[in-house]
Structure 1
Amino acid sequence: MLLPSGIEDFKDIIEGNYYYIDKTGLIGDLLRDGANVILITRPRRFGKSLNFSMIKYFFSKERDYSYLFKGLKIEKDPLALEYMNKYPVIHITFKDAKTSSWEETYDVLKSIISKEYDKHSYLLESEKLREHHKKYIVKILERRGEPVDYRESLYNLTYFLETHFGKKVILLIDEYDVPIESGYVNGYYEKVVDFMRGMLTAALKGNTSLFKGLLTGVYRVAKEDIFSGLNNLVIYTILDDFYSHYFGFTTEEVKKMLFDFNMEDRYEEIKEWYDGYSFGSAKSIYNPWSVIEFVRRKVAQAYWINTSGNDLIRELILKSPSHVKQKIEKLLSGEGLTEMIESTCALRDLRYENGSINESAMWGLFLFGGYLTPKSKKIDSTFGQWVCELFPPNKEVLAFYRTTIINWLKGFGFEYGKIGQLLEYLFQRDGKTFEREFSDILTKVASYHMFGDEAERVYQAFVLGMLSVLTERFEVKSERESGFGRYDVVIIDRKAPRAIIMEFKVSEGDPANDAQKALEQIESRKYEADLRDRGIENIVKAGIAFKGKSCSYRIA
């Protein structure tokens, strides 16, 4: 049996006899949900588009599609079967509405709407529609409409379909947030938000022609931005229990797929690379795109992360302040972060007026985008927001963080291979070579940064950034309590009983003297205590003082 790599049309998968993991139970659950308009957020390529295609074929009056569902779970749901092929359906996706300018994006949006109207061009022959309705349809088909015409286009199409069929309409809107995110990244956020707000509010708010309105996206964009006044909208994010196992693959589904393709012996490998997501009450969800590619190619590597739109997340990592980069390093070292999550985010509010990062909004984007997963969660009683313990879900996402940081380092002209060599200089207690090589690196870094009042944090974040790409070989820890204080950085070799303790100082006077003070701090506060408790005796203690583009060291 063939694997449906990149195929998002349910009909093509069933008719082509492709391997299909049955998610048809979603249809019955949606029908039993009393909400009239529902938004379900999930990371990209987690089955949203395929599920919407499935829903379209199930409800569509276009023709009898019941043969597509033979032998699937939905056949055992008598309530759902009463609704099969009974409704006109509008199915629209905005996944391609992302360009570098508003003018281009507006053209793409008009094209998307025109193509959906073309699917229903039979309305031009309808005896139940008036002539001015048909003239409007032709105007949209020929892309001659004014902005107000396109804002009202989805609402009008639901009205035309109800008038023609005498049945209320199902409206499916996939990837609603793609043009919004593109607008934020490319500088036309306000224009695209204004358009999308007008179109979606008209289509979904108080629309008597609507039976169900269903939307998907990655982010829960703030209501005041897009869904202003839309009181009938119910939102289910990855933190909610609803529909938790319909997007992504469960452990049982993955094990069955491996069995079906004679790959049972690869389970631990696939789990390490692609498991780790928690959606509501479902605690072990696999990335479906990557699982399919792994089974198809039989090689474990980063598949999803190289196809997903990472621009916004990458920008947030690279342009984040030093203390946020320190948190990224902790994630790479296998530590979790406990953070408050802003679940509804106006992208323009990612930064405050003074330019500083809104961390709760930023971590929310990481979480909902699939770059972090919650190991635990609770509602903060004071602020009414989720507080989550966050981790990278799996090896594939860790590879993305490392690659992003490596590219950041390359921006300073710093080669990845030098990082391990620098550590070896310290392990060998070759301080002179370390000082010479590291000072050369700092010369390049200083040309990019004005260190200012946070100099020590910037230096430390840069060192942690370098070390974070070596976390498969080295365990890297920072700002941990040990002995009688908190050390700056500890590096533990995973393959040999040896470690390095680093303490940083920013020198305003004599760097050599300040490096000695840093070393004395390691000694006096007994930072090696935890390491010795672990049986590590080969411990290098390095006091490092920075001054502008150079450093000084003392090693013991």
Structure 2
Amino acid sequence: MGLFLNPGNENFKSILNGIYVDKTGIIESINKTINTTDKLTCISRPRRFGKSYTAKMLCAYYGKTCDSSSLFDDKVISKFDSYRKHLNKYQVIYLDITGFISSSNNIDGIVKKIRASIIDEIKEEYPDMQGNSLGELLVNVAEYSSDKFFFVIDEWDALFREYKEKTKLQEEYIDFLREVFKNGNVTDRAIAGAFMTGILPIKKYGHQSAISDFREYTMIQPSIFAEYVGFTKDDIDNLASSYTVNKAKLKKWYDGYSFAQVGDVYNPNSVCQAVRTGVYDSYWSKTETYEALLEYINLDKDGLQADIIQMIGGNEMPVDTATFQNDMTSVQNRDDVLSLLIHLGYLAYDANTGKARIPNEEIRREFISTVRIGSHDATTRIIRNSDQLIADTIDGNEEAVAKAVEEAHSAGTFGISPLFYNDEQALRSVVKFAYISCANNYIKVEELPSGRGYADVVYIPNPGERLPVLLIELKMDTSADGAIKQIADRNYPKIFENINGEVILCGINYDSKTKKHECKIEKMIFPLDSK
């Protein structure tokens, strides 16, 4: 049992000792590929989405130098016919590429170190085995022992992400992968299967085509591995049966990734952190991907800033993912940036509609933080103006509120051209984005049923927030007073009669002749005084 050759099952034992959700069903999907033309699997996921957990689980399951029956006999995989056939039957080679990077004093020599580490451990296990190359050695060992190799490579693309400029090093690394996985004399004779994880998909063009034989599953098209991207609703229900959790808060903070095959998918690491601590907050890992987010948002390619603002406000935006070259250096346009952010986990993607969105509260706050500290003055100003608008609404500053909505309209920032501002729906779009910062502390509800009708836009404070409800009624070519009168006549505030706090009634009217907005604000305190 070594570091790289047959590392055993201790890593997986440690995982089982923590908060654990059984995702061993993924093994059945991989077992079906063993010794077939589909045996090379590459899965790309954002950071902290369980890639390394899966890699360590596969080492425990496939590695021939340990007995992992007790670890898997009560898991989902044990229900499949293939379970015993492949359990602890292969020579496993486990490579954590980020581990090699962090322990290397000379990054230019890292590929030689990887190759030498494998060869040294194989020769230590089989001292009489000869081979002029790694590939030849793998074939000789497989034929001598009658046991093929299963490769597990975690964070395979780390060299491409962290050392973008070192093309010679990347080519050397690709040659290493080519020797094992695109070599007819080695791959078929010595390799039973392989499982690679990464953050970015395999680059579409150029020298990475050397590993084009891998079957690839991404955040845009996870296919048969969709339910293993993160935690599903069933996984959350299972956690709730063993731990004290607030499922509504888990959904708000960490859900929002979804795939047609499985429905809702949650960020697994963040869910586990919240379950462990009882604190529902952002556990998003600010690594080099955060710097990439800041860098690419600041580029403001093809109106990207306005799209980000729309998504912060809860809208979905169309994106063409086809042109993205699957790297962090060939970003050419707005669609490339959005595609990259999908792969990094900052956006969720609906393959049916071709649209991207911010998936949950955790990520939305990352965007808010990034926009606030970003270098693009216009976007930063929008957020700050929205902060002030909320304060003015609460303070009852009608003139300031009308002016803020007027400025948002005149800017034409949100896909609502001032030339086509001719109905309440257009007015509503501008008002929603003028109040964009409400997303920090409020739940936005449109067409809220209450009293004898539907309130246009209502912002309800998040639990624990000591803020008033904002009830906004919109009118076109009537009056702000008329909007307030409608709120009263139809008794829209009735739904809040049992709360203990303040409701701000805000009527906004746009006069298409004068091209002016007006605002009327009233306040109600609940419970109402019965005298």
Same fold (TM over 0.5): yes
Deviates more, 1:158-167 or 1:400-409: 158-167
Contact kept in structure 2, 1:105 and 1:179, CA below 8 Å: no
**CA-CA distance at 1:252 after TM superposition:** 1.6
**CA-CA distance at 1:290 after TM superposition:** 0.7
Cα distance change on mapping 1:313 and 1:456 into 2, 3 Å: same
* 1:338-377 to 2 correspondences below 5 Å: 338-342=318-322, 345-347=325-327, 350-352=330-332, 357=333, 359-375=334-350, 377=351
**CA-CA distance at 1:313 after TM superposition:** 2.5
Contact kept in structure 1, 2:313 and 2:432, CA below 8 Å: no
2:180 corresponds, among 203, 207, 221, to: 203
Q: What are the ranges of 5 or more consecutive residues in structure 1 without an aligned counterpart?
A: 1-7, 137-152, 379-386, 439-454, 477-489, 502-521, 544-552
Distance (whole Å) between structure 2 residues aligned to residue 128 and residue 160 of structure 1: 7
Contact kept in structure 2, 1:97 and 1:109, CA below 8 Å: no
Residue 147 of structure 2 is aligned to residue 167 of structure 1: yes
Q: Deviations over 1:134-190 (max 9, x none)?
A: xx7xxxxxxxxxxxxxxxx5x456335425523321111111122212233xxx153
Contact kept in structure 2, 1:41 and 1:219, CA below 8 Å: yes
Residue 163 of structure 2 is aligned to residue 183 of structure 1: yes
TM-score by length of 2: 0.70
Distance (whole Å) between structure 1 residues aligned to residue 156 and residue 320 of structure 2: 25
Name the counterpart of 1:14: 13
**CA-CA distance at 1:275 after TM superposition:** 1.5
1:296 counterpart letter in structure 2: R
**CA-CA distance at 1:298 after TM superposition:** 0.3
**CA-CA distance at 1:23 after TM superposition:** 2.0
Deviates more, 1:212-221 or 1:292-301: 212-221
Name the counterpart of 1:428: 397
Distance (whole Å) between structure 2 residues aligned to residue 112 and residue 529 of structure 1: 74
Q: Deviations over 1:92-117 (max 9, x none)?
A: 12234668xx9953345554555444
Cα distance change on mapping 1:541 and 1:405 into 2, 3 Å: farther
Contact kept in structure 1, 2:95 and 2:154, CA below 8 Å: yes
Number of positions where the alignment pairs a residue of Structure 1 with one of Structure 2 = 445
Cα distance change on mapping 1:465 and 1:311 into 2, 3 Å: farther
Name the counterpart of 2:203: 222
Residue 227 of structure 2 is aligned to residue 259 of structure 1: no
Cα distance change on mapping 1:229 and 1:115 into 2, 3 Å: closer
Name the counterpart of 1:317: 297
Cα distance change on mapping 1:229 and 1:538 into 2, 3 Å: same
Taking only aligned residues, the RMSD between alpha carbons, in angstroms, comes to 4.5
Cα distance change on mapping 1:308 and 1:421 into 2, 3 Å: same
Contact kept in structure 2, 1:9 and 1:50, CA below 8 Å: no
Cα distance change on mapping 1:304 and 1:529 into 2, 3 Å: farther
Distance (whole Å) between structure 2 residues aligned to residue 96 and residue 272 of structure 1: 34
Residue 226 of structure 2 is aligned to residue 244 of structure 1: yes
**CA-CA distance at 1:210 after TM superposition:** 1.4
Distance (whole Å) between structure 2 residues aligned to residue 274 and residue 9 of structure 1: 32
1:294 corresponds, among 269, 274, 286, to: 274
Name the counterpart of 1:283: 263
2:363 corresponds, among 382, 391, 397, to: 397
Could you say what secondary structure the match of 1:23 adopts? coil
Could you say what secondary structure the match of 2:346 adopts? coil
2:90 corresponds, among 71, 87, 92, to: 87
Could you say what secondary structure the match of 1:367 adopts? helix
Distance (whole Å) between structure 1 residues aligned to residue 356 and residue 167 of structure 2: 31
Could you say what secondary structure the match of 2:439 adopts? coil
Could you say what secondary structure the match of 1:278 adopts? strand
Distance (whole Å) between structure 2 residues aligned to residue 410 and residue 74 of structure 1: 50
Cα distance change on mapping 1:414 and 1:192 into 2, 3 Å: farther
**CA-CA distance at 1:499 after TM superposition:** 7.7
**CA-CA distance at 1:122 after TM superposition:** 1.5
Distance (whole Å) between structure 1 residues aligned to residue 128 and residue 77 of structure 2: 36
2:343 counterpart letter in structure 1: F
Name the counterpart of 1:538: 507
Name the counterpart of 1:106: 108
1:234 corresponds, among 202, 215, 219, to: 215
1:471 corresponds, among 439, 443, 467, to: 439
Could you say what secondary structure the match of 2:142 adopts? helix
Distance (whole Å) between structure 1 residues aligned to residue 309 and residue 240 of structure 2: 34
**CA-CA distance at 1:527 after TM superposition:** 13
Contact kept in structure 2, 1:500 and 1:540, CA below 8 Å: yes
**CA-CA distance at 1:224 after TM superposition:** 2.4
2:471 corresponds, among 492, 497, 508, to: 497
1:197 counterpart letter in structure 2: I
Distance (whole Å) between structure 1 residues aligned to residue 95 and residue 29 of structure 2: 22
Identity %: 20
Name the counterpart of 1:120: 122
